[in-house]
Chains A and B, each alone.
Chain A
Amino acid sequence: MKKNNKIINTILAGVTTLTLCTPATATETDPIKVGVMLPFSGVYGGLGEATRNGLKMALKEHAADLEGRTIEFIEMDTEARPDRAPEIASSLLNKSHADFIVGPVHSGVAMGMIKVLKDKDSIMIIPNAGANAATGPLCAPNIFRTSFSAWQPSYPMGKVALDAGYKKVVTMSWNYGFGKESLEAFEESFTAGGGDVVKKILVPFPKTEFQAYLSEIASIKPDAVFVFFAGGGAVKFVKDYDALGLKGKIPLLGSGFLTEGTLEAQGQAAEGILTTLHYADSLNNPTNNSFRQRYAENFGKPSDLYAVQGYDTGLMIANAVKSLQGDISDRKALISALENTTINSPRGDFTFSKAHNPIQNIYLREVVYGENEVIQLAAPALEDPARGCKM
């Protein structure tokens, strides 16, 4: 029985200590709590890391705007797993009482987060996940996005294809939310102008064996191919497209992620690919040039799209805190400040739509000597239609 008592006593002591750590009521000199819900391990680890770097850099550079308040970061690794999303979001909301919750990268995780955070006290800012629903049917006053909706990067490519004279196009992507939404957006503008999507290939997610599908495309002989793939899948697809002889014979068009963060691994195979995206590393404006230099100095590696999105999230927070003179306790005022801010982003200045999604330029890029060169503006100040949003 002695052993039992010892165990029980230790446990009781631990529990008592826990209960004594009750949170004090927040005051204006307390740090602003920024919860960070990103993947730091696994396939999306690099994206999470870049986003975090950008976020921290912005808030550090604009520390003066915070009117004397400091930032406390609470970082949690989502592992890009949707089933862990509600739990982690709940932790940041209920345990840490975060003022802002920044995340996620992955759209599935975003859905889980929104479930918990919608219409709650914390302000959720999505620095990447593009699921249309977040600024569509599931939109809410406390949910913002500084990245893009799945519709935005892909929609302008339809017109690009039409202008180039393509009539028959095959579209291809993974069979999941973001992939399907991207293909639908392209199809919307392409068919509206008289184009024909002769075949839509949906590859089971996350399969990367493309040989069979590419062989099929070769036998169809369309005018062009439009795809959405990202990360490792994008690398493989582009390499396979080249190896199978399609490169140069059937033009390859893509939503920008096909060539983001993948060009080095893709090598020669990526040359000549046209993509549309709301950013390009090579964008030649003072904000971007300065940003890229500062990022490289701070983190010892080149910046990317995800770093920019993280950075813009930080700018957004700093702008709002400044306009409220450091007092963010009135959530309604905070939301209003966030809604009306202009972000001086490396991608170009942008504002937010009523559904809280960026109204931004979409650029047409071509891969030239291993870099995404901006050819022209594919769509200026493009606003996502926010179908289903009741705000």
Chain B
Amino acid sequence: MTTTLFIVQLINGLQYGLLLFLIASGLTLVFGVMGILNLAHGSMFMIGAYLAWYFVEHTGSFGVSAVVSAIIALLLGILIERTLIRHLYRRNHLDQVLLTIGMIFVFNALQSILWGNDPLGVAVPELLSSSIPLTDILEYPVYRIFVAIFCVFIAIVMYYTINKTRLGMLIRAGESNREMVECLGIDISRLYTVVFAIGVMLAAVAGVIAAPMTSIVPGMGEHILIACFVVVVIGGMGSIKGAFIGALLVGLVDTFASVLVPQLSSMMIYILMAFILLLKPQGLFSS
């Protein structure tokens, strides 16, 4: 492998990993703070992508579409938490699995009814549609670089929020001791609603920005969900830092494996996960 190719694959892997982080961060946040394993998290990614397509079709502007989709996702998150999720707090993991599987079915059916089963595409926004030449043949699309930068930006915002703001303090407190937070007079149910809605919004926003790079098809939610789980488990359930490192690891391993060991490439991220779990059963940075 030439140096150029190596660097290109490195960038590919990091960019894929950063996108995975954006989605996985919502999953791990919700689990860490609320103890809820939301299998329908992948569906939120799908909803983001479909909403992006819908609003781009009707407004022609990607920017407007992104903002509107994010707001809808936020509202949807609040709605789901209020009506369904809050019944799960005292229940065990299995009930959560069952309920969120039911939600997956419902969302998939709604997607089919609202938007049909044909593959859809969103054009890359004009501003970001050029490519940077790397070699005489290879160019790197500016949009992918934008996505990577955007994910890093979100990561920084999350870091700042969790470590430097009051909301972040509540999140950290809720992660370590739920009852104590309640005893201190904090309205824990409001906190949960906010956290869940943020989680949903993160996944949906990931879907929106991924839409121009991917094809929007039924089943895209479940496909990304599995990768997300691997990320979150490697990183440690509930740890955002873990999700970041885990996502980069998964992105890099998956990318390099596909060109170095193509026969094993689909298994690589699972081998990685099994390996890490056997060494550190709680993941790399368990909270």
Q: Are chains A and B touching directly in their complex (CB below 8 angstroms)?
A: yes
- Per-residue CB contact flags for chain B residues 1-22 toward chain A (1 = under 8 Å, else 0) read 0101100110011011000000
Instruction: Give the distance to chain A from B45, nearest Cβ to Cβ, in Å.
Output: 14
B215 at the interface (CB under 8 A from A): yes
- Per-residue CB contact flags for chain B residues 133-152 toward chain A (1 = under 8 Å, else 0) read 10101111101100000000
* Option from A203, A206, A243 in Cβ contact (under 8 Å) with B141: A243
* Option from B213, B218, B259 in Cβ contact (under 8 Å) with A213: B259
B254 at the interface (CB under 8 A from A): yes
Instruction: Give the distance to chain A from B221, nearest Cβ to Cβ, in Å.
Output: 12
B68 at the interface (CB under 8 A from A): no
Q: Which residue of A lies closest to B4 (CB)?
A: A219
**Complex Cα spacing A233 to B2, Å:** 28
- Residue of A44, A212, A216, A262 with most partner-chain B CB within 10 A: A212
Number of interface residues, chain B, beta carbon within 8 A:
45
Give the interface of A toward B (CB within 8 A): 41-46, 49, 201-204, 206-209, 211-213, 215-216, 218-219, 221, 231-236, 239-240, 243-246, 249-250, 261-262, 264-267
Known A208-B215, A231-B217; contact A245-B123, beta-carbon cutoff 8 A: no
- The answer to whether B119 and A215 touch across the interface, beta carbons within 8 angstroms, is no
Question: Within 8 Å CB of A46, what residues of B?
Answer: 116-118
- The answer to whether B215 and A215 touch across the interface, beta carbons within 8 angstroms, is no
Beyond A232-B217, A239-B215, A267-B123, 16 extra complex contacts between A and B, CB < 8 Å: A42-B219, A46-B116, A46-B117, A201-B262, A209-B254, A211-B255, A215-B138, A215-B259, A219-B2, A231-B217, A234-B215, A235-B121, A239-B213, A243-B143, A244-B138, A261-B119
**Complex Cα spacing A216 to B257, Å:** 12
**Complex Cα spacing A43 to B12, Å:** 27
In chain B, residues 91-128, which have Cβ atoms closer than 8 Å to a Cβ of chain A? 112, 116-121, 123-124
- Per-residue CB contact flags for chain B residues 203-219 toward chain A (1 = under 8 Å, else 0) read 00000000001111111
Question: Within 8 Å CB of B131, what residues of A?
Answer: 243-245
Q: Which residue of B lies closest to A201 (CB)?
A: B262
Question: Within 8 Å CB of B213, what residues of A?
Answer: 236, 239-240, 243
Q: Which residue of A lies closest to B123 (CB)?
A: A267
**Complex Cα spacing A235 to B13, Å:** 21
Q: Which residue of B lies closest to A218 (CB)?
A: B138
Q: Which residue of A lies closest to B266 (CB)?
A: A204
Question: Within 8 Å CB of A264, what residues of B?
Answer: 121
* Option from A206, A212, A233 in Cβ contact (under 8 Å) with B258: A212
**Complex Cα spacing A244 to B131, Å:** 7
- The answer to whether B266 and A262 touch across the interface, beta carbons within 8 angstroms, is no
**Complex Cα spacing A250 to B139, Å:** 13
- The answer to whether B117 and A41 touch across the interface, beta carbons within 8 angstroms, is yes
Question: Within 8 Å CB of A244, what residues of B?
Answer: 131, 138-141
- The answer to whether A211 and B214 touch across the interface, beta carbons within 8 angstroms, is no
- The answer to whether B215 and A232 touch across the interface, beta carbons within 8 angstroms, is yes
Q: List 7 A-B contacts (CB under 8 A).
A: A42-B112, A212-B12, A235-B119, A243-B143, A245-B137, A262-B119, A265-B216
B265 at the interface (CB under 8 A from A): yes
**Complex Cα spacing A189 to B31, Å:** 55
Question: Within 8 Å CB of B140, what residues of A?
Answer: 244-245
